[in-house]
């Protein structure tokens, strides 16, 4: 998948994966859920969650290195700047025939690859990011998107039980 197909697929995910709220407690639960689900993928991945500019969850399991921390920062900065997933940003660049350099963005500071995802709250917009680094970049993205989808589904079930 490249270009417009990648862009459209990620855009659809981002439209669907919207939170009703996202607190620091939610960040802790999400970070732990990402870590647990990461075990199914085989390769270890570092995880970072930021809310309103504050890093509220960060974990480096065995098998990750300081280099993963550099990639987490690149991905976070990209999500903050573009308010989209880093994989959608890659698709956007591909669609437009551009590179990071064409956008005057330094590859040491920004990432055009999967593994950064916006935390979008209904009625508030983007309030933070969820970033993963350690696997092939498409799998970093997949881990985040799948975990958010499961997380939101579980929230919906709990809300229905409480309201029902």
Alpha carbons within 13 angstroms on the beta-carbon side of residue 120 total 19
Task: Count up the domains in the chain and report the number.
Answer: 1
Q: Is 13 a residue whose pLDDT tops 90?
A: yes
115-130: average pLDDT: 98
pLDDT of residue 68: 98
Q: How many helices (H) and strands (E) does the chain have?
A: 5, 4
- The pLDDT-based confidence of 155 (bands split at 50, 70, 90) is confident
CATH code, 91: 3.30.450.150
Q: Which domain holds residue 71?
A: 3-163
Secondary element (H or E) of residue 128: strand 125-133
pLDDT of residue 6: 96
pLDDT of residue 1: 74
Confidence (pTM): 0.93
- The pLDDT-based confidence of 138 (bands split at 50, 70, 90) is very high
Burial 107-132 (b: 16+ CB within 10 A, else e): eeebbbbbbbbbbbbeeeeebbbbbb
What tokens appear for 6 in the block?
């990648």
Q: Which residues contact 145 (CB under 8 A, 6 or more apart)?
A: 13, 17, 117
Give residue 48's Cα distance to chain centre.
9
pLDDT tens-place string over residues 59-103: 999 999 999 999 999 999 999 999 999 999 999 999 999 999 999
């Amino acid at each position: 998948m490249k270009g417009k197909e990648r862009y459209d697929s990620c855009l659809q995910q981002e439209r669907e994966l919207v939170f009703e709220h996202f607190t620091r407690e939610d960040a802790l639960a999400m970070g732990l859920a990402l870590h647990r689900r990461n075990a199914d993928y085989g390769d270890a991945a570092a995880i970072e969650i930021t809310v309103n500019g504050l890093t509220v969850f960060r974990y480096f399991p065995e098998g990750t290195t300081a280099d993963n921390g550099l990639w987490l920062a690149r991905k976070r900065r990209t999500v903050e700047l573009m308010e989209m997933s880093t994989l959608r940003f890659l698709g956007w660049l591909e669609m437009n025939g551009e590179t990071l350099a064409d956008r005057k963005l330094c590859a040491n500071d920004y990432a055009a690859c999967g593994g950064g995802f916006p935390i979008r709250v209904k009625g508030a917009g983007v309030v933070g990011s969820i970033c993963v680094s350690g696997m092939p970049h498409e799998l970093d993205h997949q881990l985040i998107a799948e975990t958010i989808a499961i997380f939101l589904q579980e929230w919906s079930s709990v809300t229905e039980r409480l309201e029902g």
